[in-house]
Structure 1
C-alpha cells in the first residue's frame, strides 16, 4: 500500500535505517515528517511511504507547494495522502480547495490534521478531506464535523520502537492524522478502494453522521431547469448533454424529483436544489439538499457568547439578483482584507460559495447558534445576510443588527437604502455590479459601522 506524506523532509531510507545514537539524542531527532511516517508504519499493513518535502525544519511552508506535492504522490501511485499541516487564513481557502478537489476527484483520499489553534483550518475542513483532531480514542463528534469539518478524533501520542530504543512521539493534531491515515490504508487493503464518504462510514460505524456544505465540486453538470445568475459558479461547468459529459463531471446539480429519480444511479456527487424531502441512506458519494443544511443548523450546539462582529441585513425585492450582489460584495470585502461571512435565504447560494440560511422549518435561535459558531471558528470580520423582503416588520435571525439595507430596482438601476439605527438613511444607486460600484458600497457600509 503506497501512502504519500506531504511534510518536512524524510531523509532517504530513514524509515528503514535505525541509528540508535541519533534516536537517543535530545529525545529523538527525527523530523516532523519522519515521525508521521513512523506512526503510519507502526499501525499500517505493508506500507510503502512516498514523501514530498513542502515544509522546512521549523514546520514552515507555502501553500503554493501543495499542487506539486499532490502531483508527485499521484504520479507515484499513492492514492492515500497524509497532510499534517494547514492554514486558518480565509485568503488561502479558495486556492487549497481547488487543488484538493482536483485530486480528490481523481480518486485520491486525503487525510489532514486540523489546526492546533482551534479555528477552522484548510484543507482539513473540506468535505473532500478527512479532517482529524487529537483525542483519546478513534471517535467522531457531529458538532465538530458541522462547525470545523473535523471527521475524527484520534490518539496523538504513539510509542515508536526503533531497534532497542522506544519513545513516545509528540502530542498534537499533526500526530493524530497519521494514525487515521494508517486506519484508512488498512481498510482499503482489506475491502478494496472506496469513496471518501464510504470510508467515513466504515471507520465510524455511524450513519448520516457527516453533514457537509457542497464545497467539493470541481466540474459539474447543471440542470437546464436552473435559472442562472449573473455571478459565476465557484466551480467549472460542462454544458453538454449529461449522457455525453457524464465521465467528465464529478457532480450533477438537480432541480426536481423527476431529475433526481432519473440520475441518482449515475454514481456522481449530487447537489439537489428542489424542496422535496428526499430519503438518502448509505449513498457512497457526496449529497447535499436543503434538508442537509437544515440538519446542520438544527444540530449546532448552543452559542456560549455574543456575536461581536458587525451584522448587516440586506432585504431585497424579488427582481433583485441578491446572490450576484452578495457575491460581488464578498469579493470586494476580501480585496480590502476583510473576511466576510455571507449567508442568503436562496437555496442556490451554495453554488456561489455563499452560506444557505433557510427561513422555513428552522428555529431562528438555532440559525443564530449556527452563525455564531461558524463566524467564530472562521474568524469572520463582518456578517452579511440577504433575505427576501416580505413585509415592513418581518422577523430577523438577530433581534438587533448594526445595519439594514433595502435593495430594489428602479429606472436608474439597483438602489440601496441604508438604514443605521438612530441615524439618517443613506441611498446609493448604480446600474451594475462593477468593482468600482461595489467598492463604493463597501466604503459606505464601513463608514456607518
Structure 2
C-alpha cells in the first residue's frame, strides 16, 4: 500500500513529520533522521535554518524531537522554527509554518505550545480548519496553566495533556478539548548521557504524536475523528467519547435553513447540488430530520439544528446537536463558588436580529480587551461562534455550574446571556443579582435600548437597522458602568 494520501492535487505523506517549535539541535540527533530545518523570520518568510543551537540553549524542540524518535524510530523529521531560544514567539508565524508543511507534503505536525489569548482563537480556528480540511493531522499540547488553550482545544486538533499534573482539573479535560492524557517524563539520550524530561504538557504531545504516526502507518485511511478516538483509547485517564464543540467547519453545505441574520458564519458555505459539490465540503448543516435523513452524508461531519430527537443518523465525521451541549452539562464536574465576573442579561425582541447584535457585541468587547462569554438559547448560535445553552429548566444548578466552568477555563471577563424579551422575567431568577439588564425592542421605525444598572435607568433610541456603530455605543454604556467602581 502506498504511504501517500491524495488531497486534491497534493499528496501528504504519513512518514513526514514536522516539529514546529524552537528548532532541533542536529548535534543531538541522528542527522539522517532530519530531512529539513526551516525558520520563519519576522517577515513570515520561510527559509533554511542555518543557525546552530548551542548546548546551553533551551532545547525544547530538540527534546520534542527526541521523544518522538524514541517512540517512532522510522520517522522522517522536519523542523520549523518559529519560537526563540527561550521558547517564546508570536502565533502569527504558525500560518507560514503550516503552509510550508503543506507545500512539502508533511501530514503530521507536532505543536508543543499554544496560546490562552482569546483574541487569537478565531484566527487560529480558521487556519487550523483549513489545513485539516486539506488532510493535515495536528497534535498540540494544552497550556500548563490549566486554562483552555488554542489550538489544543479545537475539535480538529488532537489535544494532549500530561499525566501527573499538579493541577486539579483532570475530571474536566472534556471541557478543555483535551483528547488524551499521556506521560511527559521520558528517558532520552543527549550524547552519552540519559536525562529525564520534565513534567510538562509540552513533552506529552510528541509522545501522543508518535502514537498517532504509528497508527497511521498501519491504517493510512484514518480520519482526524478516528485518530482522536484512538488517542482517547491510549489515554491514561478515561476520556468521554464523542462530545465535540462545533468549531471544526471549514466549508459547509446548509440545507433547510434560510439565513436571516446579517451576522457572518464563522466558516464558508457552498451551495448547489450536494452530489456535485460533495468533495468541496466537510460538513452538512441541517435544520430538520427530514432534510438530514434524505442526504447521504457518508464520511462528512454534520451539525443538526432541529428540535426533534436524533435517531438513525450514520455520521462518520464529527457530529453536533443540542443534545451534545446537554451531555456536556451532564458530564461537567466543575463546582466553584459562583461567578466572579459581571453578568449581563440581554433581552431582545424576536423581530430584531439577535445573532448580529450578539456577534457585534462580542467583537466590541474583544476590541476593548474583554473576553465575553456570549450565550444564546438557539442551537443556531454555534454557526456564529457563539455559545449555545439550552433553557435551564430541569437542573438550574447544573446549568450554572457549567457556565461557571466555561468562564473559568476560558478566562472570561463577563457573561452576556441573550434571552427572549417576552420571557425575560422567567430567566431573571437564574441570575437575580445580575449586574446589567438590557431590553432591545422595536417601536414603529425605532429600536429602543433600555438599560438598568442597580436601579439606574438609561434609554437610547436607534432609528432603522441596528448597525456596528449602534452596538458599539451599547458596549460603551455597559463598559463604562461596569468599570465605574474601578475608576472611583
Give the aligned partner of residue 71 of structure 1: 99
- For 1:387, the equivalent position in structure 2 comes to 419
- Does residue 310 (structure 1) correspond to residue 310 (structure 2)? The answer is no
Q: Residue 22 of structure 1 corresponds to which residue in structure 2?
A: none
Match of 1:223 in 2: 255
Aligned to 1:441: 474
**Are residue 4 (structure 1) and residue 36 (structure 2) matched?**
no
Distance in 1 between residues matched to 2:315 and 2:283, nearest whole Å: 14
Q: How far apart in 1 are the matches of 2:21 and 2:312?
A: 38
3-state SS in 1 of match to 2:437: strand
Unaligned runs of 5+ in 2: 1-14, 33-53, 483-488
TM-score, normalised to structure 1's length? 0.91
For residues 202 and 156 of structure 1, what CA distance do their matches in structure 2 show? 18
Aligned to 2:447: 414
Residue matched to 1:341: 373
C-alpha contact (below 8 Å) 2:297/2:314 kept by paired residues? no
Deviation (angstroms), 1:354: 0.2
User: Does 213-222 or 70-79 show the bigger shift?
Assistant: 70-79
CA-to-aligned-CA distance 1:176-199 (integer Å, 9 cap, x gap): 101100111111112223112111
SS at match of 2:175: helix
Structure 2 residue corresponding to 1:156, chosen from 184, 194, 206: 184
User: How big is each residue's C-alpha offset from its partner over 1:207-252, in whole Å with a ceiling of 9 and x where there is no partner?
Assistant: 9614122111111111143343111111111122322221111111
Q: CA deviation at 1:423?
A: 2.7
CA contact (8 A) 1:114 1:173 kept: yes
CA RMSD of aligned residues (A): 2.4
Structure 2 residue matching 1:160: 3-state secondary structure: strand
| CA distance in 2 between partners of 1:135 and 1:142 (Å) | 9
Partner residue in 2 for 1:291: 323
C-alpha deviation, 1:425, in angstroms: 4.7
Q: Compared with structure 1, are the counterparts of its residues 442 and 428 closer, same or farther at alpha carbon in structure 2 (3 Å cutoff)?
A: farther
Q: Cα distance 1:164–1:242, how it changes in 2: closer, same or farther (>3 A)?
A: same
- Report which stretch shifted further, 431-440 or 44-53: 431-440
Q: Deviations over 1:353-399 (max 9, x none)?
A: 10001116652211211110111111111110111134463134323
Distance 1:389 1:327, change over 3 A: same
1:246 and 2:278 aligned:
yes
Map Cα deviations across residues 334-358 of structure 1 (whole Å, 9 max, x no partner).
Answer: 1222111100001101000100011
Pick closer, same or farther for the CA change 1:413–1:426 going to 2, 3 Å. Answer: closer
Q: 2: distance between equivalents of 1:190 and 1:279? A: 33
Change (3 A) 1:263 1:207: farther
The residue that corresponds to 1:15 in the other structure is: 29
| Cross-structure match for 1:122 | 150
Matched, 1:104 2:104: no
**Alignment map for 1:262-411 (pairs within 5 Å):** 262-279=294-311, 283-359=315-391, 362-391=394-423, 393-396=425-428, 397-411=430-444
Given that 1:142 and 1:210 are in contact with CA atoms closer than 8 Å, whether structure 2 keeps it comes out as no
8 Å Cα contact 2:299/2:315 also seen in 1:
no
Following TM superposition, by how much is the alpha carbon of 1:429 offset from its aligned partner in structure 2, in angstroms?
Answer: 3.0
- What is the CA distance between 1:95 and its match in structure 2? 1.2
Q: 1:330 to 1:435 in 2, by over 3 A?
A: same
Residue 145 and residue 105 in structure 1: after superposition, are their counterparts in 2 closer, same or farther (change >3 A)? Answer: farther
On the 8 A contact 1:110/1:129 being kept in 2, the answer is: yes
DSSP-derived class of the 2:61 partner: helix
Which residue does the alignment assign to 2:223? 195
Residue of 198, 208, 220 corresponding to 1:180? 208
Distance 1:380 1:208 in 2: 24
Deviation readout 1:234-279 (Å, 9 max, x if unpaired) = 1111122322221111111111112211225332111111122214
SS in 1 for 2:78: strand
Q: State the secondary structure of the residue aligned to 1:267.
A: coil
CA contact (8 A) 1:136 1:153 kept: no
What secondary structure, in the 3-state scheme, does the structure 2 residue paired with 1:394 have?
A: helix
Corresponding residue SS for 2:80: strand
In structure 2, distance between residues paired with 1:279 and 1:266: 16
Of the candidates 75, 82, 101, which is equivalent to residue 47 of structure 1? Answer: 75
Contact persistence 2:58–2:85 (CA under 8 A): no
Q: 8 Å contact 1:132–1:152 — kept in the other structure?
A: yes
Aligned to 1:220, the other structure's residue is in SS state strand
8 Å contact from structure 1 (residues 201, 207) kept in 2: no
- Note closer, same or farther for the CA distance 1:256–1:66 as it changes in structure 2 (3 Å cut): same
Q: Please identify, of 349-358 and 233-242, the stretch whose mean Cα deviation from structure 2 is larger.
A: 233-242
Q: CA deviation at 1:420?
A: 2.4
Shift of 1:434: 2.3
Change (3 A) 1:244 1:131: same
After TM superposition, the score normalised by the length of structure 2 is 0.84
Cα 1:280–1:165 change in 2 (3 A) is farther
